[in-house]
Amino acid sequence: MTRSPIAGLMFLWLLLGPLLSGAQAAADREKLLTEPGIYGTFAVFTLDEEWAKQELSTRIAHLATFKGVVEQYREKVAIDLYLLRGLSDQADLLFRIHATELRETQDFLLDLRSSQFGKHLKAAGIMHGLTKKPNYVPGFPDQMKAELKTLSEAGPKPYAIVIPIRKSPEWWGLDQEKRAGMMQEHTAATMPYLKTIKRKLYHSSGLDDLDFITYFETSKLEDFHSLVLSLEKVKEFHYTRRFGNPTLLGTIQSLDEIIELLAQ
Amino acid sequence: MTRSPIAGLMFLWLLLGPLLSGAQAAADREKLLTEPGIYGTFAVFTLDEEWAKQELSTRIAHLATFKGVVEQYREKVAIDLYLLRGLSDQADLLFRIHATELRETQDFLLDLRSSQFGKHLKAAGIMHGLTKKPNYVPGFPDQMKAELKTLSEAGPKPYAIVIPIRKSPEWWGLDQEKRAGMMQEHTAATMPYLKTIKRKLYHSSGLDDLDFITYFETSKLEDFHSLVLSLEKVKEFHYTRRFGNPTLLGTIQSLDEIIELLAQ
Amino acid sequence: MTRSPIAGLMFLWLLLGPLLSGAQAAADREKLLTEPGIYGTFAVFTLDEEWAKQELSTRIAHLATFKGVVEQYREKVAIDLYLLRGLSDQADLLFRIHATELRETQDFLLDLRSSQFGKHLKAAGIMHGLTKKPNYVPGFPDQMKAELKTLSEAGPKPYAIVIPIRKSPEWWGLDQEKRAGMMQEHTAATMPYLKTIKRKLYHSSGLDDLDFITYFETSKLEDFHSLVLSLEKVKEFHYTRRFGNPTLLGTIQSLDEIIELLAQ
Amino acid sequence: MTRSPIAGLMFLWLLLGPLLSGAQAAADREKLLTEPGIYGTFAVFTLDEEWAKQELSTRIAHLATFKGVVEQYREKVAIDLYLLRGLSDQADLLFRIHATELRETQDFLLDLRSSQFGKHLKAAGIMHGLTKKPNYVPGFPDQMKAELKTLSEAGPKPYAIVIPIRKSPEWWGLDQEKRAGMMQEHTAATMPYLKTIKRKLYHSSGLDDLDFITYFETSKLEDFHSLVLSLEKVKEFHYTRRFGNPTLLGTIQSLDEIIELLAQ
Amino acid sequence: MTRSPIAGLMFLWLLLGPLLSGAQAAADREKLLTEPGIYGTFAVFTLDEEWAKQELSTRIAHLATFKGVVEQYREKVAIDLYLLRGLSDQADLLFRIHATELRETQDFLLDLRSSQFGKHLKAAGIMHGLTKKPNYVPGFPDQMKAELKTLSEAGPKPYAIVIPIRKSPEWWGLDQEKRAGMMQEHTAATMPYLKTIKRKLYHSSGLDDLDFITYFETSKLEDFHSLVLSLEKVKEFHYTRRFGNPTLLGTIQSLDEIIELLAQ
């Protein structure tokens, strides 16, 4: 993407903003991203029509307030950013926020919306889920459990996909054993993709009009397509009342990359 | 959340508004919140795009009119306030209003909308329900009835959740005994959560496109998630045609807290 | 509701507008409201965001044009007004218009929309139905027919409710006798409420995406809730594909009351 | 409807616009409206909020550009106009356009939208269908075929109704003979209304999210209601997945009548 | 369509923009349009209300930035343009973009949206699919395979139609053999239209809320209608949960034709 040399200089200034107190913040973030009992929020925004009409210098000043709010909350909540524009319907930005309490997520989003940048954001959707210990895995065969520990390949995974799911009342009406059997078949279908697709599950019942939020990262969208196709073919899929609607597809971006893109 | 010292001083002035005539109002409020035959209205609003662009002094002046209207009606209707922004889709504020007649609720909402603050509110949804004596509880076993009298734990319950419900025609077609049996199973599933989750039921048939509005308060959202998961597993859930859509999740706030937040 | 003394004086002037030629208009109105073969239109409007920002004097001048249009058509069509704001989702005003031809209703609504007041109205929905002689009543037992002639109690009925209905293809596929049997059960369920709830039925098939518009007036919303609950329990309800969506709940207002409210 | 004498004079000028070369255009129009293999487009528009705020003289100047575009295309496509405002939900104008190629319809609508009047039109919906020779009629009994040739009564038919239809996959899965049998029952139900209701059928599969567009003209809406009620009772109706949504109800107007109405 | 001579001259200047480095770009485009493993994106836009109000010279200047962005990306991605206005609901332009990585498509759309022209585009929908080797064809009888190689007739095919498809869980639950049998019946139904209708299939599962995007080009819309009617009659159609919604119908246009049309 093209940009002017003046804008480049102004970004330098932006990038010199307050930095996290390093190790502590990283430890907290690691914990928020890996432990059970953490709330994950997916907040989708569109930019209003005013934004694109602002002067470059105004946009850069506003983006500095954006950076300020994100930096301020980085020690309490883990914030990940995704660019949806150009890949998802009528949405521009996705924030994934992990926190031990949803009040902290609300505080962050309130301050974000109150910032000069935030006044240009229009809320397009919000979903919440909770991380929990695996429900069915303990009952799986040992070999399967071992394979599930396969780490996904190192290297950048530029794409993220978020698919909300609601099960049918019939699903919840099945006994635990029957559900476990179907989830084993479901999990077996995902095995060929463990290396190239990173995944994370959030439980939503009661927090939103969903039962689950499924989150994926990959560098190979073709593999992700094959994975979903496999999942559509297992028996458990018959008990899914909503799959997507919306399917959010975007690219993972650092705060500075997003700021640079939005300045244009 | 950060705020300027000047704003702080101006709030002092705001907080010196007319106060309720104490005991009488409290007694009326207690009655409205506990007796059967009371109408409960859940009115959801978003703030228009103009609001955030107003000067701080203008916002504070407008919020004074907001406070005035709420204080004026406090002896007739019971008004509770919730902040949805940052937690629920495309909504900012929720008013829960209890009144002996819906005309009084309408009068309050008309005056609210006509106030200088109210001109910035956009109606995003409204639901009505009626409080009634328990329908199925009288037939439950004595031990269950005793346990249901368990009070929820003292202490603040910062989160509120509102879930509208429509049953299927098949539900209403069942005889009273069958429905009572399923409601007993439903109620049993809620027992482990009586201490941490406060609940209230409103009957809506005919007053809105719903059969029930279920309202919850808790400090433990994880417990609330577990409660809903348990309710999805009982037989009665198969007779639920709409559960949520929307699920409203917010934080309980006093009038002064809301005013302080909105001034920012 | 509070209002300024100046506004009060200006209303006096408004209320001195042209009056109907008395008896003739009343006779026509009576006929339109009671005979079969009359078209009933339910037109729902919201006020635009400009309205609340107009000067009081401008609003009053515009409301005079509103009054003028309504008075002008009062001899041809019967116009009833309802305030939905504060009770129904995203709607402010409901007009119920009875006419012998829908062209006359269209003429009225066109002139209304073209008036200075009407330019602030946004159409939020419109439904049409036809009054007809009772379809199933002639076959009911004599005692039931007699009871159905019970007049509703005198005295004001401040609330009005409008519920649109679409039946399933299975309903229309039943033979007349089966439908009559179920309608007798349906009607029996309404008997306890004949005194406190006034009702009127409009047939819509082909005029709109509905089969019926049901209209109710009452001073006891709790009775209306009980009535709907009873109707949900009869067999005929299983053949209802749409019930409400929207349910319109409002208060009945005279033209002058509406004008006074809108001036604020 | 009332209008000023000045506006009346200005209309005179408008009505002196270029006229069609008479006989040729009439012949083409006749062909487009009666032959199979013709594309019919139903384009629905609303007027934007600016329109009502224009000066009368500006509105009249803009309407002249409207008239110009319609006159320019009258030899290539057949254009019919309907006023929906006051009778249909959130729509003001309906254009019915018949052409031998949809490209010609697109050219007309592009030029309309580019005109000074067209800049005030917001597209609210568009449907396309194809006229074809009757599918099932050739197999009907001779007497039925004879009766179907009954012409509708002469005289003005002020109302037009458009009902889009999508059949279920089960319908298309039936063999031709079964469908023919049900269509004969369907057609028999329409016989009592041949005289008072003019009808036309367009086939839409693949051109839009529909299977058929049904178009009706009548002076007796009560008859039209009875017709639809009869059609809801035949077996074929069970295979209809969408009937209406929207049902468009309007009045047939000449170009000059529409221009006069829009000038107000 | 009419246009002024001045506009004509200014187009000359526009058409003298940077040209592709010929053969290389053509080869890449050919590869992107024919090989498997390529991502196809269908991005739908509407023009905002400001666009039509710009001066002609401003519009032409903005369109030059549009042309610039398209030319800049032409070596990396294959871009096709379609005019939907006048033929499809509430949409004006369709871009079909083929790329080896969706990130490249996102880069193009971001730069397009950031251009002076792009600021007038509102995203109305986006769908992604992947080209793959035929799934069922290898198992078809040899004669059928041979016939499927029939090329569509030469000559312009002005119309394009895009129909998104979601299959039911039951479809994916069938074994491969049963699906292959039904796809053979489906394919047989398409044989009469191989010459007049060009077609292309994209696989979407996981990339969007779809399973397939079907794309067609033709000069004979009547044939396309007959094709869809045939496909509605085969057994496989019973396993289709969504067919269209939206159906996009437009005309294929070169970049210069679109620019000329938008300048008006």
Rounded Cα distance between B258 and B260, Å, is 5
Q: What phi, psi does D42 have (nearest 5°)?
A: -110, 110
Counting Cα atoms < 13 Å in the Cβ hemisphere of C47 gives 25
Give the Cα separation of A136 and E194 in Å (integer).
Answer: 50
User: Which residue in the block uniquely carries the two structure tokens 């008990």?
Assistant: A239
Measured between CB atoms, does E53 come within 8 Å of chain D?
yes
For residue A23, the model assigns a pLDDT of 66
Helix (H) or strand (E) holding A164: strand A159-167
* Cβ pair E109:A85 closer than 8 A: yes
Judge whether E83 and E258 are in contact, CB under 8 Å.
yes
Q: Do chains E and D touch (3 or more CB pairs under 8 A)?
A: yes
Which of E65, E90, E102, E201 has the most A C-beta neighbours within 10 Å, making it the best mutation to test the interface with A?
E102
CB D237 within 8 A of CB D189: no
What is the per-residue pLDDT across B112-137, written as a single tens digit (0 to 9) for each?
999 999 999 999 999 999 999 998 99
Residue in chain D lying closest to E229 (CA): D205
Q: How many CB pairs under 8 A join A and B?
A: 95
- The shortest CB-CB distance from D207 to any of E1, E49, E221 is to E221
pLDDT at C2: 44
**Mean pLDDT confidence for E10-28:** 57
The Cα–Cα gap between E255 and E96 comes to: 12
- pLDDT tens, position by position, C22-63: 567 777 899 999 999 999 999 999 999 899 889 999 999 999
Q: With cut-offs at 50, 70 and 90, classify the pLDDT of residue B23.
A: low
Mean pLDDT, all residues of chain D: 91
Average pLDDT estimate for E129-152: 92
Q: How many CB pairs under 8 A join C and D?
A: 94
Residue E8: pLDDT over 80: no
Which residues of C are less than 8 Å from D264 in CB distance?
A: 114
CB contact under 8 A, A207 and B247: yes
In this complex, is the C-beta atom of D238 within 8 Å of any C-beta atom belonging to chain C? yes
Query: Which tokens belong to B156?
Result: 């603040």
Q: Assess E123–A contact: CB distance below 8 Å, yes or no.
A: yes
Does residue D110 carry a pLDDT above 70?
Answer: yes
Whole-angstrom distance, CA of residue C78 vs CA of residue C99: 7
Contact C113 D159 (CB under 8 A): no
Alpha helices in D74-191 (DSSP H): 102-114, 142-148, 169-173, 176-190
Cis bond leading into E246, ω under 30°?
A: yes
Residue B245 contacts A, CB cutoff 8 Å: yes
H/E run at residue A221: helix A221-232
Q: How far off is chain C from D198, nearest CA to CA, in Å?
A: 15
Check residue D22 and give its pLDDT. 58
Q: How confident is the model at residue D17 (pLDDT cuts 50, 70, 90)?
A: very low
Lowest mean pLDDT among B42-56, B60-74, C174-188, D7-21: D7-21
pLDDT of B1: 41
Q: Does C74 touch chain D (CB under 8 A)?
A: no
Quick: pLDDT tens for C99-151. 999 999 999 999 999 999 999 999 999 999 999 999 899 999 999 999 998 88
d(CA A88, CA E180): 32
Tokens 């940077």 found at: E18
- CB within 8 Å: E264 and D114: yes
- Give the H/E segment covering residue B43: strand B39-47
- Candidates A161, A163, A177, A250; CA nearest to A212 is A163
Residue B247 contacts A, CB cutoff 8 Å = yes
Res E17 pLDDT > 70: no
Q: Helix, strand or coil for residue A21?
A: coil
pLDDT of residue D20: 44
Residues in chain B with CB shorter than 8 Å from the CB of A130 are 221-222, 225
Comparing D136-140, E4-8, E254-258, the range with the smallest average pLDDT is: E4-8
Q: Nearest residue on chain B to A112, judged by CA atoms?
A: B86
Check CB contact under 8 Å for E126 and A2. Answer: no
Distance (Å) from the alpha carbon of B222 to chain A's nearest alpha carbon? 8
Average pLDDT over residues D45-53: 92
Rounded CA separation A166/A244 (Å): 9
3-class state of residue D181 by DSSP: helix
Contact C119 D53 (CB under 8 A): yes
Distance from CA of A235 to the nearest CA of E (A): 7
> D86 pLDDT exceeds 80?
yes
Q: Does the beta-carbon distance from C106 to D88 stay under 8 Å?
A: no
Interface test with E, best of D126, D170, D178 (most E CBs within 10 A): D126
Specify whether the CB–CB gap between E162 and E213 falls below 8 A.
Answer: yes
Q: What confidence tier does E144 reach under pLDDT thresholds 50, 70, 90? A: very high
Q: What is the 3-state secondary structure (H, E, C) of chain C?
A: CCCCHHHHHHHHHHHCCCCCCCHHHHHHHHHHHHCCCCEEEEEEEEECCCHHHCCHHHHHHHHHHHHHHHHHHCCCCEEEEEECCCCCCCCCEEEEEEECCHHHHHHHHHHHHHCCCHHHEEEEEEEEEECCCCCCHHHCCHHHHHHHCCCCCCCCCCEEEEEEEEECHHHHHCCHHHHHHHHHHHHHHHHHHCCCEEEEEEECECCECCCEEEEEEECCHHHHHHHHHHHHCCHHHHHEEEECCCCEEEEEECHHHHHHHHHC
Residues in C closer than 8 angstroms to B209, CB to CB, are: 243-247
pLDDT confidence of E22, banded at 50, 70, 90?
low
Listed residue (A194, A200, A201) closest to A153, CA to CA = A194
Question: Could you say which of E126, E170, E211 has the minimum Cβ distance to residue A87?
Answer: E126
Q: What does each C-alpha distance from E165 to A236, C119, D96 come to in angstroms? A: 21, 42, 29
Mean pLDDT in residue range D237-260? 97
Tokens 């949520």 locate to B244
Contact A148, A137 (CB under 8 A): yes
Instruction: Kindly provide the b/e burial profile for residues B76-110, where b requires at least 16 CB atoms within 10 angstroms of the residue's own CB.
Output: bbbbbbbbbbbbbbbbbbbbbbbbbbbbbbbbbbb
By DSSP bridging, strand C248-253 and strand C78-83 are: antiparallel
In whole angstroms, give the CA distance from residue B253 to residue B247.
Answer: 18
Taking CB atoms and an 8 Å cutoff, what residues of chain E touch A159? 102-103
pLDDT band at E90 (very low <50, low <70, confident <90, very high): confident
Q: What is the mean pLDDT of residues C238-249?
A: 97
Measured between beta carbons, the chain C residues lying within 8 angstroms of B106 are 83, 85-87, 251
Q: Which entry of B3, B199, B241, B242 is annotated as an active-site residue?
A: B199
Instruction: Please name the amino acid found at residue C52.
Output: A
Task: Name the percent of chain B lying above pLDDT 90.
Answer: 83
Cα gap A240→A81, rounded to integer Å: 28
Percentage of residues in chain C having pLDDT higher than 90: 83
pLDDT at C255: 96
Per the CB < 8 A criterion, the answer to whether C52 and B112 are in contact is: no
pLDDT of residue E151: 81
Show the tokens assigned to A243.
């799959």
Residue to mutate among E48, E83, E88, E89, with most D CBs inside 10 A, is: E89
Return the residue of C nearest to B176 by Cα. Answer: C233
pLDDT value for C19: 44
Contacts of D83 in chain C (CB under 8 A): 106, 110
- Torsion (CA) D219, D220, D221, D223 in degrees, nearest 10: -140
E171-202 exposure pattern, b = at least 16 Cβ within 10 A, e = fewer: bbbbeeeebbebbbebbebeeebbebbbbbbb
Q: Which chains touch C (3 or more CB pairs under 8 A)?
A: B, D
One pLDDT digit (tens) per residue for chain A, 264 residues: 444 545 554 554 555 444 445 567 777 899 999 999 999 999 999 999 899 889 999 999 999 999 999 999 988 999 999 999 999 988 999 999 999 999 999 999 999 999 999 999 999 999 999 999 998 999 999 999 999 988 888 899 999 999 999 999 999 999 999 999 999 999 999 999 999 999 999 999 999 999 999 999 999 999 999 999 999 999 999 999 999 999 999 999 999 999 999 998
Pick from B120, B107, B117, B121: which is nearest to B79 by CA? B107
A/D touch flag: 3 or more CB pairs below 8 Å: no
User: What's the confidence (pLDDT) of residue D14?
Assistant: 54
CA distances from A69 to A77, A114, A125, D254 (A): 12, 10, 20, 61
Q: How confident is the model at residue A75, as a pLDDT?
A: 87
Residues in contact with B264: Cβ distance below 8 Å, sequence separation at least 6, in sequence order: A110, A114, B1, B3, B7
Q: How far is B124 from chain A (nearest CA, A)?
A: 14
Worst-scoring range by mean pLDDT, B17-31, C143-157, C169-183? B17-31
Look-up: residue for tokens 């609001």? B51
Is residue D48 less than 8 Å (CB to CB) from chain E? yes
Q: What value does the mean pLDDT take over residues D176-196? A: 96
Q: E 185-224 residues with CB below 8 A of A?
A: 203-209, 211
Give the pLDDT of residue B26. Answer: 75
For residue E210, pLDDT beyond 90: yes
**Which among B243, B248, B181, B169 is positioned nearest to B216, based on CA atoms?**
B248
Give CA angle at D7 (D4, D12), nearest 5°.
130
pLDDT at C1: 41
pLDDT confidence tier of residue B22, bands split at 50, 70 and 90: low
Q: Which of A216, A181, A211, A185 is nearest to A198 (CA)?
A: A216
Q: Which of D44, D225, D229, D240 to mutate to test the interface with C (most CBs of C within 10 A)?
A: D225
Token pair of E249, please?
């119908």
The count of other CB atoms within 10 Å of the CB of residue A115 is 21
Q: Is B59 considered catalytic here?
A: no
Following DSSP, what letter does each residue of B135-187 receive, concatenated? SSGGGS-HHHHHHHTPPPPSS---EEEEEEEEE-HHHHHS-HHHHHHHHHHHH
Question: pTM to 2 decimals?
Answer: 0.94
Q: Report the pLDDT value the prediction gives residue D19, as an integer from 0 to 100.
A: 44
Please tell me the distance from the alpha carbon of residue E260 to that of residue E264, in angstroms, as a whole number. 7
pLDDT higher than 70, residue C15: no
D180 pLDDT higher than 70: yes
Question: Band of the pLDDT at B25, cuts 50, 70, 90?
Answer: confident
Nearest CA-CA distance, residue B82 and chain A, Å: 12
The beta-carbon neighbor of D107 closest among E1, E53, E233 is E1
**Cα–Cα distance for residue pair D7/A47, rounded to 1 Å:** 45
Q: What is the ipTM of this complex?
A: 0.92
What value does the mean pLDDT take over residues E157-183?
97
Q: Rounded distance, CA E205 to CA A230, Å?
A: 10
Q: Closest Cα partner for B105 from B138, B77, B133, B145?
A: B77
What is residue A22's predicted lDDT score, i.e. its pLDDT?
58
Longest dimension (CA), chain B: 64
Subunits that touch chain A (at least 3 Cβ pairs < 8 angstroms)?
A: B, E
Tell whether A264 is within 8 A of chain E (Cβ): yes
Cβ of A241 under 8 Å from any chain B Cβ?
no
Query: Is the CB of residue B46 less than 8 Å away from at least one CB of chain C?
Result: no
Tell me how close the Cα of C245 comes to any Cα of chain D, in angstroms: 14
pLDDT at C159 over 70: yes
Distance between CA atoms of E120 and E45, rounded to whole angstroms?
10
pLDDT of residue E29: 93
Torsion, Cα of D64, D65, D66, D67 (10° steps): 50
Confidence of residue B11 (pLDDT cuts 50, 70, 90): low
> Which chain C residue has its CA at the smallest distance from D234's CA?
C173
CB-based burial, C136-161: b 16+ in 10 Å, e otherwise = eeeebeeeeeeeeeeebeeeebbbbb
Percent of chain E with pLDDT over 90: 83
